[in-house]
């Protein structure tokens, strides 16, 4: 019970670091945690736990730069939302970079984002019809989540410090045509 209480009080950085250290110490050729990434001169590990740790911290800092939020708060929110292994949770599809190919829209609140979506639905990239649901097409059953990446947009809500991958709102398509 004490471990669970202590885990709740940890920052996201501390929680992620503890998970990586536990994995580093559990086996393989490398048993030393390095927050700057895997040290290829000291170990020949194949798992790349330390590289993932550095990627996550760097990605949280990128989000902080783009949103004006504190990177440690962002990382804490991500860790609060994480319910499975960090090596699978932290990926480009879940925490996309701000690349040209990534359409990321930043909103102060999730409610503000929902208002911006409008009432015309969301364009399913599979069948092309407007779906009422932003991630599961009610016409063809195609889902935004899963192993096959789908074209859509990313929405970052500052109040949640979370990224949501959704079908593009139809209303946004119509605004783009006017521009």
The more confidently predicted of residues 31 and 35 is: 35
User: Quick check: 80 pLDDT over 70?
Assistant: yes
Q: What is the pLDDT of residue 1?
A: 45
User: Quick check: 77 pLDDT over 50?
Assistant: yes
pLDDT band for position 3 (50/70/90)? very low
pLDDT band for position 99 (50/70/90)? confident
Exposure letters 96-112 (e unless 16+ CB within 10 A, then b): beeeeeeebbbbeebee
């Amino acid at each position: 019970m004490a471990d669970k209480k202590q885990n709740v009080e940890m920052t996201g950085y501390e929680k992620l670091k503890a998970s990586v250290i536990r994995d580093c110490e559990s086996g393989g050729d490398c048993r030393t945690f390095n927050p700057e990434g895997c040290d290829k001169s000291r170990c020949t590990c194949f798992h790349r736990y330390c590289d993932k740790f550095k990627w996550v911290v760097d990605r949280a800092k990128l989000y902080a730069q783009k949103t004006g939020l504190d990177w440690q708060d962002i990382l804490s929110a991500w860790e609060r939302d994480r319910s499975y292994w960090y090596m699978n949770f932290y990926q480009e599809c879940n925490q996309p970079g701000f690349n040209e190919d990534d359409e990321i829209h930043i909103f102060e609140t999730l409610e503000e984002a929902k208002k911006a979506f409008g009432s015309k639905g969301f364009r399913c990239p599979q069948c092309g019809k407007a779906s009422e649901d932003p991630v599961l097409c009610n016409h063809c059953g195609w889902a935004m989540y899963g192993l096959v990446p789908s074209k859509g947009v990313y929405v970052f809500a500052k109040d949640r410090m979370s990224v949501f991958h959704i079908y593009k709102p139809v209303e946004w398509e119509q605004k783009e045509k006017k521009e």
